[in-house]
Structure 1
């Protein structure tokens, strides 16, 4: 993908217009999900359907295989991080979120996920750092701003 186009989308995330920001957010997610073409997208979709059906172990196996076959597919790591988070496996989720950030440093979804994991573990300072990094990319993200405040309150 053209890095100038991605840079333009990242700038649009800082635009005062909500519609411009929303369009840029959707485009970035589409780029990330479609990084490996239709096959990668279909496998992620299959894993999500399994997860939605409560078949967590099967969904994890599907994602494990995708990651093994395409270790540079950031969204595969991100989807597994989400699976781990939703099943309370926060440390494992953090490892996968970090892998996403290593591959795509501006992946605001993985940064948000890291913040959620650290918060769930009671590591509020680290959670604040992750949410702040996400806000640097998406300054208008009200959820991350709210979570920063919640973590700060928990710190006292």
Structure 2
């Protein structure tokens, strides 16, 4: 788990450093292209660039209050002002509930605060809006693993790998959790959406 945690911590750094000022036009088409390239990329520099570009697309928000709130919430997280960031992302969710990354950022803040139930709830909202969100699935897998829900952790990590096959250490973690056994629940992610992202 240590290697995977290290990789996810690095992923968190990429997520927080992504350029929230990018333009919103054509983001869905751009995301489709980036995900297609990520599947076949082999060069480590290209892979890192593609991951960063995907995060940049996810943090795109419209001009005005939504953008201001996203930028403020990211800055608060970077400064470890986690409770303030939860409040900020909550305001963003109120005015723009369709933004998957608003939910994911708040889920991350809750996770860092140790509030697993709130984080899980927000992760589920994230993947409803962006079924390819490998960062959200990775976080979901970590939380499920820490809660001893091995089968659900495997399901989440497998989805993270499906959309980003380059997450270092994820194969070993999947195998480790599979070896611990457990029945696959009817709702593999625990999000009341059996087919989310699958």
Q: Which residue of 1 aligns with 2:104?
A: 78
**Moved segments of 4+, more than 6 Å:** none
Whose helix fraction is larger, Structure 1's or Structure 2's?
Answer: 1
Q: Which residue of 2 aligns with 1:26?
A: 52
What is the TM-score when the length of structure 2 is the normalising length? 0.70
Q: Is the 8 A contact 1:12 1:20 kept in 2?
A: no
| Residues 38-117 of structure 1 aligned to structure 2 (within 5 Å) | 39-117=65-143
Distance 2:55 2:70 in 1: 13
Distance 2:68 2:75 in 1: 10
**TM-align CA RMSD:** 2.2
What is the TM-score when the length of structure 1 is the normalising length? 0.86
**Structure 2: gaps (5+ residues):** 1-25, 183-198
Aligned residues: 156
Q: Alpha carbons of 1:74 and 1:55: their partners in 2 closer, same or farther (altered >3 Å)?
A: same
1:64-117 CA-to-partner distances (Å, cap 9, x unmatched) read 111101101111100110011112211211111111111111111111111111
**Structure 1: gaps (5+ residues):** none
